[in-house]
């Protein structure tokens, strides 16, 4: 539902559940949202979420128009017990094109498991810092790259789409600030392995917009084109949306977000939830940027999951939309 166009802008108002749209110069016309809630979000839940709930959450997110919904990880079940049900979950999603359901695989064993179930889109996940590479993958940075090499090669032979995540691109809880040159080196290495796209992770949410701009420029200077880059901001310091806007201004068109702001990382204690997908969609709708996402259906999915988890979503947009839906007191 939208209100009529006005000289100031077009579209809705908060009362309709949509922002007014004011397109701004120098921004992309369309953004692809890479939804990570069921993977990055749920992997951090201490209570094991029933597989049926995960499947229903993913169906609702896909039904809200999210083009890709990262479904799960084929990692060692002892490392991430929450996602130990990947073999049961993935087949429950058979109504959704597997090309819309990326899964994380760290190694050849993970790839075997994913291929056996018909996965068509995978992500390997490296680190810019040694401390996180050790904590997350039990490897050095370069050992992890060596572990990914046969995975990416085989995935490409099987014509899978391969994303390369890079964690700790801005700061690291053990090592502090991360030099841009180190991030650039590992990004180049992941692309050289054959990754189709990279996702720049601010795992602990310490980035600020100028830092984002500086890193993107350094990557371009090193021959990494912006159209191969996505951004992945956690919202620990409330900067995720500002950082995303800086990336959009730079020409980035792939943005990771987590429905309801779920998330964290079990191997980086200071990480909190990702940028909430609803907050992102509200801003993109307001900028007149196409996403294909129905904000009302997306919010409903997050409200439903929050009900199952027994606690409210941290997303400001989800909260605002819920308050808006309550009857006004006279
Ligand atoms: P390891 O202990 O070094 O494993 O862990 P290994 O290679 O020595 O193998 C040991 C045993 O594990 C073997 O079994 C393997 O078969 C088995 P055994 O011979 O002893 O019986 N094994 C597996 N079993 C099932 N599936 C597998 C698998 N691999 C080995 N895939 C490993 C190395 C990579 C497996 C481990 O460190 C791991 O699973 N890590 C995953 C950690 C993780 O998922 N972290 C969260 C995702 S990253 C993230 O959230 C950041 C991101 O959001 C971006 C950002 O925010 O920055 C992406
Ligand atoms: Mg993450």
> What is the rounded CA–CA span in Å between residue 284 and residue 11?
13
The rounded distance, in Å, linking the Cα atoms of 2 and 18 is 7
pLDDT of residue 267: 72
Query: For residue 202, which atom of ligand 1 is closest to its CA?
Result: 57
pLDDT at 1: 36
CA gap 277, 318 in Å, rounded = 10
Euclidean distance between the first and the last CA atom of the chain, given in angstroms as a whole number = 24
302 close to ligand 1 (CB < 6 Angstrom): no
> Is the beta carbon of 42 within 6 A of some atom in ligand 1?
no
Rounded to the nearest angstrom, the distance between the alpha carbon of 212 and the centre of ligand 1 is: 29
Active site residue 265: yes
pLDDT at 2: 40
In this prediction, residue 3 carries a pLDDT of 41
Q: In this structure, what are the phi and psi dihedrals at residue 234, rounded to the nearest 5 degrees?
A: -90, 155
Mean pLDDT per 10-residue segment, the chain (330 residues): 47 72 95 98 93 98 98 97 98 98 98 98 98 98 98 98 98 97 98 98 97 98 98 96 98 98 74 92 98 97 94 91 76
Distance from the alpha carbon of residue 265 to the mean position of ligand 2, in angstroms: 6
Torsion of CA 201, 284, 27, 12, to 10 degrees: -170
Which residue has the least CA distance to atom 34 on ligand 1?
A: 137
How far, in Å, from the CA of 77 to the mean position of ligand 1?
A: 8
Walk me through the domains of the chain, giving residue ranges and CATH numbers: 29-319 (3.20.20.70)
Query: Of 169, 187, 195, 265, which one is the catalytic site residue?
Result: 265
Residues with CB under 5 A from ligand 2 (ion): 40
Q: Assess contact for 39 and 72: CB atoms under 8 A.
A: yes
Instruction: Retrieve residue 256's tokens.
Output: 């990771």
Task: Name which residue sits closest to atom 33 of ligand 1, judged by CA.
Answer: 137
> Can you give the pLDDT at residue 12?
57
Using CA atoms in the order 315, 292, 211, 224, what is the torsion angle rounded to 10 degrees?
A: 150
Tell whether ligand 1 has an atom less than 6 A from the beta carbon of residue 109.
yes
Long-range CB pairs of 95-98, under 8 A, 24+ apart, other chains included:
95/59, 96/58, 96/59, 96/62, 96/69
* pTM score, whole prediction: 0.95
Query: What integer pLDDT is reported at residue 325 of this predicted model?
Result: 80
To test ligand 1's pocket by mutation, which of 34, 38, 39, 75 has the most ligand atoms within 8 angstroms of CB?
A: 75
Neighbours of 257 (CB within 10 A): 33
Distance CA 219, CA 213 (A): 10
pLDDT (0 to 100) of residue 320 = 93
Query: What pLDDT was estimated at residue 150?
Result: 98
Q: Ligand 1: which residue has its CA nearest to atom 46?
A: 265
Is 233's C-beta closer than 6 angstroms to any atom of ligand 1? no
């Amino acid at each position: 539902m939208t209100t009529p166009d006005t000289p100031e802008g077009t579209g809705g108002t908060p009362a309709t559940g949509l922002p007014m749209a004011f397109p701004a110069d120098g921004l992309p016309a369309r953004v692809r949202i890479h939804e990570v809630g069921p993977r990055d979000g749920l992997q951090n839940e201490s209570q094991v979420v029933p597989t049926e709930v995960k499947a229903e959450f993913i169906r609702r997110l896909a039904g809200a128009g999210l083009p890709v919904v990262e479904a799960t990880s084929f990692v060692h079940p002892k490392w991430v017990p929450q996602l130990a049900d990947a073999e049961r979950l993935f087949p429950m999603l058979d109504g959704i094109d597997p090309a819309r359901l990326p899964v994380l695989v760290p190694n050849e064993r993970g790839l075997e498991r994913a291929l056996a179930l018909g996965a068509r889109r995978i992500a390997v996940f490296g680190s810019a810092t040694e401390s996180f590479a050790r904590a997350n993958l039990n490897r050095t940075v370069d050992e992890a790259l060596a572990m990914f090499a046969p995975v990416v090669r085989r995935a490409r032979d099987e014509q899978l789409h391969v994303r390369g995540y890079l964690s700790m691109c801005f700061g690291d809880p053990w090592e502090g600030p991360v030099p841009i040159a180190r991030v650039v080196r590992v990004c180049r290495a992941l692309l050289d392995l054959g990754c189709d796209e990279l996702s720049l992770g601010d795992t602990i949410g310490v980035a600020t917009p100028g830092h984002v701009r500086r890193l993107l420029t350094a990557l371009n200077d090193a021959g990494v084109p912006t159209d191969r880059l996505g951004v992945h901001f956690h919202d620990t310091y409330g900067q995720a949306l500002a950082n995303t806007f800086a990336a959009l201004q730079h020409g980035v068109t792939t943005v990771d977000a987590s429905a309801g702001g779920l998330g964290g990382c079990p191997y980086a204690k200071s990480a909190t939830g990702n940028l909430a997908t609803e907050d992102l969609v509200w801003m993109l709708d307001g900028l007149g940027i196409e996403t294909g996402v129905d904000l009302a259906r997306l919010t409903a999915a997050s409200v439903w999951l929050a009900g199952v988890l027994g606690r409210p979503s941290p997303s400001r947009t989800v909260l605002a939309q819920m308050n808006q839906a309550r009857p006004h007191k006279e």
